[in-house]
Amino acid sequence: MATTLTRHTMITVALCLAGTSVLSAATLATDGKPQMTIVLAEGAIPAERTAAQELASYLDKVTGGEFAVVIEAAAPPGPCLYVGPTAFARKQGLDPSTWGPERWAVRSVGADLVLVGGRPRGTLYAVYRFLEDQVGVRWWNAYEEHVPQRPTLQVPALDRQGEPKFRYRDIYLLYAHDGGRFGARNRLNGQGFGALDVTLGSGVYYGPPNGVHTFNFYIPPKDYFDKFPDWFSLVGGKRTAERAQLCLTNPDLRAVVVEKLRGYIEQSRAAAQKAGRAAPLDFDISQNDWGGMCQCDACQAITKREGSESGPLVDFLNHVADAVRDKYPEVRVNTLAYQMTEDPPKTLRPRDNVLPRLCDTNANLLRPITHADNGKFAERLATWGQISKQLRIWDYAVTYRPHAGLPLPTVHTYATDYRYFAEHNVEGVFTEHEHAILADLRDLKIWMMIKLLEDPYRDEAALLVDFTDGFYGPAGPIVRRYLVELQAAAESAGATVNWFPPLSQYTYLTLEFLRRAQGTFDEAETAVRGDTVLLRRVRHARLPVDRACLVLWPKLMRQWTASDGQPEQIPLDRAAIAARCRETWLAQIDLRFPESQRAAERAKADAELTPLLALPAVVPLPERFRGLRPKDVFDFTAEQSANWQNQAKRVPDREADSGLTNRLELSDEEMEKYKLPMGWGAYAPTGKRHLGSATIRPEDVPGPGYHWYKLPPVTVPPSTYVYFFWSWIIQFPVESAGDASRPEEKFEVWAHIKFEGPGFPHGKPEQKNAIYVERVVVVRSSN
């Protein structure tokens, strides 16, 4: 019987009836005794030797036997498992010498089995697919696996072959510390731009100097700006290297970049030869991770003609690519279509050896690419796919503001997204998915991504059942029910969550939903009672719900009291939730981090939980606002702020009305930048709108302790936040105060701030110089 093939089918499967002259079932072990020998090809490369070792190791675990591994010349009589490009495989028409590096095949030949693939990873993938598909092994994450116990192991007649749909598959970061073994077992071939171990097939990796944001690697400002300022961006009429880019039309700059790229290619080839792996083919030349595009006449002429800052970038890269193509025809010059360069150029076309990576920085993470919310990204992708020979996607699967890892219903988007990618000329996907412990349902999501990156047309519902039933045991159906309820809540709320979301975007995380979610997980825990491993996993799945209850506690209490509930009767036990949250977090630290890192990770857990619990159960409005109508006052306490790179610490403070504040401690050197007068204001990234600002002068500080400071009236469009200091390192998202239907409505913005230390008015000599920002209150100006 052969499967029906469509143009979307990646894995070809032909299962012939047992008993035919060619294919028959194979018995690998009987009552724990091996019935087959593993035969490794002569001259096997390291990845093929790993394949044989992995096959033997897992068959030993599954059957309880001890499978022998021999080279082909020493193959004994009787049934064998032939691994790699053996002479036996070639006799069956399976000659992988012309196959791609990841194509694999598994074929029954009488009582024998052949597992073979292209070099360097194909044979490894053949073994892993066999262990997964036929034996039932699962690698859930880098630390946990499922190995069935089958002392008598038989497999049906097989004739299977395939290769992953996307050439490049990378999820950043796996935190596995295993050289890429977990990734390889699940057919990932990237490891955060770096190579997998040679014994795992090396994978697809980037050459020097770096995998992304490389302008300053090629042209370090400290080495070049003083001598060649014209190589750097013209911003505001001046050449600058401060958080800026390069002048991409400068011919001398272009010549230097070409020579440096040639040097990096040669350097990488020498290093690869020494390491015994294939040399990298991808070299990144991309913008720095900030703005500052060049405004000189030559650059802006291309920008205006092409309708995007991608114009000068593509023009520049085409020049570089042309210069290296003849000597290095296989090299691809990678770049980013990121933020200012995401829109494709109108007329320019990337050379065939230029590989853009389109970043998805504006998407609603809760919806697939085909949804209207994400129409702009879909349009960009389709256009870049049309004008480029090849395209990669840089995707974001997590959120990045403080308190990342709240419940985020995204699993249902993966299959649709990857199929769209596959149908629009995408050859690789790089996905950022950090936060080893806190990211929402991270093990489940990464496993689903891995399977769908290999084959976007697999049955995603079946995959979900496979993981949840296998990983959570009897709680699997309950976890799936929670996922359905979470997605329904987000859709009912019409929620939009982007990659840097303020807490106000989680509109679906209401008191009612979180109460029901806690009940669902109570049921899930009951289902696995008595099994410590399954309970640990269910608790980890519950962690985002627990953290949401703690992070959103002031909002949840307001919802409860607004419906005449008494604070002490709120149907959530904050102390119990916090205790479970900490216990779960620490258990995952012990599972996922080496002993040397655990103390630091535990300190991070306490650094988040301690301030959250410092908030009183009920956080009343400040006294000066209590007489206003509740619908006109929006209170943003410290737990809702975003602190850039954690420079300002969120700490308990008895002088703060809410009990919690943001504290920026300043060294003597830093005081030169942060001494009064101090600027602050409101800004909306959408539209890049400066909405209003003010300055706090020394004479504006009336005394020690907290005092209220006010901005001029401002509008509050979507994405608005209130920033502090010249550095903007403390930001309070306040967009939830605005009403999109009334864009011209004005608001007062108040901030509760304290200055301490000898460098500030009324500060005491024994104090450290520090600035405290406790909360922001936004009030409709009609009041």
pTM: 0.90
How far is the C-alpha of 168 from the C-alpha of 170, rounded, in Å?
A: 7
In this predicted structure, the answer to whether residue 241 has a pLDDT above a threshold of 90 is yes
Share of the chain above pLDDT 70, in %: 97
> Residue 293 CA to chain centroid, in angstroms?
26
Over residues 302-313, the pLDDT tens digits come to 999 999 999 999
Helix (H) or strand (E) holding 694: strand 689-696
What pLDDT does residue 12 have? 37
In this predicted structure, the answer to whether residue 37 has a pLDDT above a threshold of 80 is yes
Cβ of 64: how many Cβ atoms within 10 Å?
15
Nearest CA-CA partner of 285 in 321, 249, 252: 321
The vertex-642 CA angle with 637 and 644, nearest 5°, equals: 145
Ordered by start, the domain boundaries in the chain are 12-162, 213-331, 477-496+504-614, 627-780
In this predicted structure, the answer to whether residue 11 has a pLDDT above a threshold of 80 is no
Over residues 438-481, the pLDDT tens digits come to 999 999 999 999 999 999 999 999 999 999 999 999 999 999 99
Task: Say if residues 135 and 150 touch (Cβ distance below 8 Å).
Answer: yes
Task: Say if residues 115 and 48 touch (Cβ distance below 8 Å).
Answer: no
How far is the C-alpha of 496 from the C-alpha of 71, rounded, in Å?
A: 57
Taking each helix axis from N to C end, the angle separating 251-275 and 310-325, rounded to the nearest 10 degrees, works out to 60
What pLDDT does residue 14 have? 36
Average confidence score pLDDT of the chain: 94
* Residue 7 token pair: 């143009």
What pLDDT does residue 10 have? 39
Over residues 709-760, the pLDDT tens digits come to 999 999 999 889 999 999 999 999 998 899 888 999 999 999 999 999 999 9
| Strand, helix or coil for residue 559 | helix
Give the mean pLDDT of 104-129.
Answer: 98
Give the mean pLDDT of 528-557.
Answer: 96
What pLDDT does residue 554 have? 86
How far is the C-alpha of 372 from the C-alpha of 363, rounded, in Å?
A: 10
Instruction: Find out whether the peptide bond into 34 is cis, omega within 30 degrees of 0.
Output: no
How far is the C-alpha of 434 from the C-alpha of 212, rounded, in Å?
A: 17
Residue 153, sorted as left (phi over 0), alpha (psi -120 to 50) or beta, turns out to be beta
* Residue 445 token pair: 């999501």
- pLDDT category of residue 630 using cuts at 50, 70 and 90: confident
Task: Say if residues 366 and 408 touch (Cβ distance below 8 Å).
Answer: yes
| Lowest mean per-residue pLDDT among 225-234, 399-408, 528-537 | 399-408
How far is the C-alpha of 322 from the C-alpha of 351, rounded, in Å?
A: 8
How far is the C-alpha of 63 from the C-alpha of 257, rounded, in Å?
A: 57
Give the mean pLDDT of 107-124.
Answer: 98
In this predicted structure, the answer to whether residue 534 has a pLDDT above a threshold of 50 is yes
Residue 32, sorted as left (phi over 0), alpha (psi -120 to 50) or beta, turns out to be left
What pLDDT does residue 4 have? 33
In this predicted structure, the answer to whether residue 16 has a pLDDT above a threshold of 50 is no
Task: Say if residues 332 and 270 touch (Cβ distance below 8 Å).
Answer: no
> Residue 461 CA to chain centroid, in angstroms?
22
With a CB cutoff of 8 Å and minimum separation 6, the contacts of 99 are 117, 118, 122
Over residues 605-621, the pLDDT tens digits come to 998 898 888 878 788 89
Task: Say if residues 123 and 83 touch (Cβ distance below 8 Å).
Answer: yes
What pLDDT does residue 425 have? 98
What pLDDT does residue 783 have? 55
Task: Say if residues 433 and 171 touch (Cβ distance below 8 Å).
Answer: yes
Torsion angles phi and psi, residue 25, rounded to 5: -65, 155
How far is the C-alpha of 232 from the C-alpha of 236, rounded, in Å?
A: 13
Task: Say if residues 67 and 34 touch (Cβ distance below 8 Å).
Answer: yes
Say which residue, 539 or 404, is predicted with more confidence: 539
| Strand, helix or coil for residue 430 | strand
Q: Regarding the domain with residue range 12-162, which homologous superfamily does it belong to in the CATH classification?
A: Chitobiase/beta-hexosaminidase domain 2-like (3.30.379.10)
The vertex-456 CA angle with 451 and 459, nearest 5°, equals: 75
What pLDDT does residue 349 have? 99
Nearest CA-CA partner of 7 in 465, 423, 295: 423
Task: Say if residues 50 and 199 touch (Cβ distance below 8 Å).
Answer: yes
- pLDDT category of residue 130 using cuts at 50, 70 and 90: very high
Kindly tell me the burial class for residue 506, based on how many C-beta atoms sit within 10 Å of its own C-beta (0-12, 13-18, 19 or more).
Answer: buried
In this predicted structure, the answer to whether residue 2 has a pLDDT above a threshold of 60 is no
Share of the chain above pLDDT 90, in %: 87
Q: How many H-runs (helices) and E-runs (strands) does the chain carry? A: 20, 31
With a CB cutoff of 8 Å and minimum separation 6, the contacts of 181 are 142, 197, 200
In this predicted structure, the answer to whether residue 161 has a pLDDT above a threshold of 50 is yes
Nearest CA-CA partner of 132 in 463, 592, 429, 449: 463
Say which residue, 492 or 645, is predicted with more confidence: 492
Over residues 560-580, the pLDDT tens digits come to 988 888 988 999 999 999 999
* Residue 633 token pair: 């006052």
Per-residue CA distances from 263 to 59, 258, 283, 328, 439 (Å):
46, 9, 11, 12, 39
How far is the C-alpha of 354 from the C-alpha of 314, rounded, in Å?
A: 9
| Lowest mean per-residue pLDDT among 19-23, 67-71, 429-433 | 19-23
| Lowest mean per-residue pLDDT among 338-342, 397-401, 416-420, 485-489 | 397-401
Over residues 648-657, the pLDDT tens digits come to 999 999 999 9
Task: Say if residues 501 and 366 touch (Cβ distance below 8 Å).
Answer: no
In this predicted structure, the answer to whether residue 413 has a pLDDT above a threshold of 70 is yes
Nearest CA-CA partner of 153 in 24, 35, 54, 38: 35
Per-residue CA distances from 766 to 663, 761, 770 (Å):
17, 14, 12
How far is the C-alpha of 723 from the C-alpha of 717, rounded, in Å?
A: 15
How far is the C-alpha of 546 from the C-alpha of 521, rounded, in Å?
A: 10
How far is the C-alpha of 553 from the C-alpha of 614, rounded, in Å?
A: 11
